């Protein structure tokens, strides 16, 4: 099909809100005058600046009824981009349907003390890996102990979050745990007997001990770095002072209300997976070099607004860029990826279900959008009757290279 003469041409659908990309486009040069940017930040910023622009290419669509024309640009698919996480989340949740069991699910949150934040920000890969390992071993130990009411192998999903509502660094793991365990010989499902899985204080002490042991090992082996303002912490006396502070604190392990209906588990998981530090719909304005955004005041259960200098807003946002290749959603126990399919099949049999796992459905973007919003994205937004059809490709690199915004030629 050739684009008919006289048809209306639009570059893209209009946006009514300020986005992260808008703030970066206007103020990333100001940020770079004050702060250095590692490669991970360069990559994330470039991706977000190019997301759904001509630089990534796309195609032109035309209505087969009224002739309306629009450009549809490709997404960057960066995991830190607010515009690219909805579809990734929905596909991930669809894949998790096969893992669900008809049992109560428990939600545990393991939080690292804020005294560790300066060290974590300079050693994300190492310290956050220690966080995952410590939490995993803690839950595994409690599950295997028959005195805790189980005495078998747990299965759980751990999801890393690094932020609070004000975009400050707040490192914690959300763990969703089915309320039961698979016996070591895989012949019995051991159901949880209580309205809670484990004691918070007991979990906290074991979690702290395991983390501190691995943290000390990393320091002794020279794997940690202590540049700039935290150089004193890297000395023997400085590290000792830090560890003494950490040992003196009660570490926070919070157990939320259990999810008692398995059909709600995916909806519950959706609140925590594939989230970024702040979504575009929380950003209210960008004026005179200042960003205003919404946040939840959990102490008063109210929604408030905060205004930050744009450079400070970008600094806080970039705190949460993870190292390249770092996995922030991990599966453990009988849900570990290698043997998950077989273990879930065994659990289903022991729970009196069919051993056949629910078939995976690979929905298209249009099908997912129809499910999520009730809207058919191929219906023309002008005449509301015709269907949009692809008529021409938009080649990649048609627009401005976002790297030139970071480093002008």
pLDDT per position as a tens digit, 30-56: 999 999 999 999 999 999 999 999 999
Tens-place pLDDT, residues 298-340: 888 899 999 999 999 999 999 999 999 999 999 999 999 999 9
Tens-place pLDDT, residues 270-296: 888 888 999 999 999 999 999 999 999
Q: Do the strands 290-297 and 302-309 form a parallel or antiparallel pair, or are they unpaired?
A: antiparallel
Q: What's the pLDDT at 359?
A: 67
Q: Is 308 within 8 Å of 288 (Cβ atoms)?
A: no
Q: What's the pLDDT at 372?
A: 66
User: Encoding tokens for residue 336?
Assistant: 């570990």
Q: In the predicted model, is pLDDT for residue 151 greater than 50?
A: yes
Q: What's the pLDDT at 334?
A: 96
Q: How far apart are CA 106 and CA 160, in angstroms?
A: 17
- φ and ψ at 224, to 5 degrees? -95, 150
Tens-place pLDDT, residues 26-36: 999 999 999 99
Provide the b/e sequence for 151-167 (b: ≥16 CB within 10 Å): ebbbbbbbbbbbbbbeb
Q: How far apart are CA 316 and CA 374, in angstroms?
A: 35
Tens-place pLDDT, residues 94-150: 888 888 899 999 999 999 999 999 999 999 999 999 999 999 999 999 999 998 889
153 in helix, strand or coil?
A: strand
Q: In the predicted model, is pLDDT for residue 366 greater than 90?
A: no
Q: In the predicted model, is pLDDT for residue 4 greater than 50?
A: no
Q: Is 372 left (phi over 0), alpha (psi -120 to 50) or beta?
A: alpha
Q: Do the strands 69-73 and 9-10 form a parallel or antiparallel pair, or are they unpaired?
A: parallel
Q: In the predicted model, is pLDDT for residue 209 greater than 50?
A: yes
Q: In the predicted model, is pLDDT for residue 10 greater than 60?
A: no
Q: Which of 176, 174, 187, 190 is nearest to 99 (CA)?
A: 176
* pLDDT above 70 coverage of the chain, percent: 94
* Average pLDDT of the segment spanning 378-392: 92
Q: How far apart are CA 163 and CA 170, in angstroms?
A: 5
Cα–chain-centroid distance for residue 273? 5
Q: In the predicted model, is pLDDT for residue 9 greater than 60?
A: no
251 versus 371: the higher-pLDDT residue is 251
In angstroms, the Cα distances linking 83 to 28, 40, 48, 119, 345 are 19, 18, 9, 30, 36
- Whether the CA torsion 138, 139, 142, 143 is positive or negative: it is negative
* Average pLDDT of the segment spanning 224-245: 96
* pLDDT above 90 coverage of the chain, percent: 72
């Amino acid at each position: 099909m050739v684009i008919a003469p006289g048809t209306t041409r639009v570059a893209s659908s209009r946006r009514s809100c300020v986005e992260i990309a808008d703030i970066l486009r206007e103020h990333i040069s100001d940020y770079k005058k004050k702060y250095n940017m590692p490669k991970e930040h360069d990559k994330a910023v470039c991706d977000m600046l190019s997301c759904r622009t001509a630089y990534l290419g796309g195609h032109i669509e035309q209505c087969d009824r009224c002739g309306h024309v629009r450009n549809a640009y490709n997404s960057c698919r960066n995991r830190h981009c607010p515009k690219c996480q909805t579809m990734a989340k929905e596909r991930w949740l669809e894949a998790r349907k096969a893992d669900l069991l008809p049992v109560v699910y428990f939600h545990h949150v393991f939080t690292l003390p804020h005294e560790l934040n300066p060290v974590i920000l300079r050693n994300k890969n190492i310290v956050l890996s220690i966080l995952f390992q410590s939490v995993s071993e803690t839950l595994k130990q409690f599950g295997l102990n028959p005195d805790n009411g189980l005495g078998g192998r747990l299965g759980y999903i751990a999801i890393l979050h690094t932020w609070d509502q004000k975009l400050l660094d707040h490192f914690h793991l959300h763990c969703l745990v089915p309320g039961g365990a698979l016996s070591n010989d895989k012949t019995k499902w051991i159901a949880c007997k209580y309205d809670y899985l484990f004691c918070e204080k007991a979990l906290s002490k074991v979690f702290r001990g395991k983390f501190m042991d691995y943290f000390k090992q990393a320091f002794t082996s020279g794997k940690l770095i202590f540049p700039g303002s935290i150089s004193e912490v890297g000395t023997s006396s400085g590290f000792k002072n830090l560890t003494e502070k950490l040992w003196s604190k009660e570490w926070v392990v919070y157990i939320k209300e259990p999810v008692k209906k398995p059909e709600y588990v995916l909806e519950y998981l959706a609140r925590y997976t594939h989230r970024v530090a702040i979504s575009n719909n929380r950003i209210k304005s960008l004026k005179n070099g200042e960003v205003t955004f919404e946040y939840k005041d959990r102490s008063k259960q109210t929604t408030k607004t905060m205004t930050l200098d744009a450079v400070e807003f970008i600094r806080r946002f970039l705190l949460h860029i993870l190292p390249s290749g770092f996995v922030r959603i991990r599966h453990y126990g009988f849900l570990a990826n290698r043997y998950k399919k077989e273990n879930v099949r065994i659990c289903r049999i022991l729970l009196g279900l069919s051993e056949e796992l629910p078939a995976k459905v690979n929905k298209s973007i249009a099908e997912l959008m129809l499910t999520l919003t009730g809207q058919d994205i191929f219906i023309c937004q002008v005449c509301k009757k015709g269907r949009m059809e692809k008529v021409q490709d938009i080649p990649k690199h048609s627009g401005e290279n976002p790297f030139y915004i970071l480093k002008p030629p």
